[in-house]
Amino acid sequence: MSDIKSDVRAFLSRYVKNQDIQDDEDIFSSGAVNSLFAMQLIMYLESRFSIRITNQEMNPDNFKSINSIEQTVNRLLA
């Protein structure tokens, strides 16, 4: 597991109790988190990885799973 995945999983665990989230699981459609959580997640990612998430990148597909979050962060770090 990459550092990004570990960090994201640790962040999610603060908000999602008693649920083991799989790397490819859609965290929004599964009900693990709601749309209000999206802004908290984006603020966390920007702060933790020193990236800027623009309106163009705010596509829900970029943040729906741990795998997609990792891909988005890696793309923005490149």
* Residue-by-residue pLDDT tens, the chain, 78 positions: 469 999 999 999 888 876 788 999 999 988 888 888 899 999 999 999 999 999 999 999 999 999 999 999 999 999
Residue 8: closest CA among 25, 18, 54:
25
Structure tokens at 40: 């908290």
**Residue whose pair of structure tokens reads 């309106």 in the numeric block:** 55
What integer pLDDT is reported at residue 15 of this predicted model?
A: 86
What integer pLDDT is reported at residue 2 of this predicted model?
A: 60
What integer pLDDT is reported at residue 16 of this predicted model?
A: 84
What integer pLDDT is reported at residue 36 of this predicted model?
A: 86
CA-to-CA dists, residue 47 to 31, 40, 53, angstroms: 25, 11, 10
What integer pLDDT is reported at residue 76 of this predicted model?
A: 96
Sorted by sequence, the CB contacts under 8 Å of residue 19 that are 6+ apart come out as: 32
CA-to-CA dists, residue 30 to 5, 52, 62, angstroms: 19, 27, 16
Domain that holds residue 25: 3-77
| CATH (domain of 64) | 1.10.1200.10
Domain count along the chain: 1
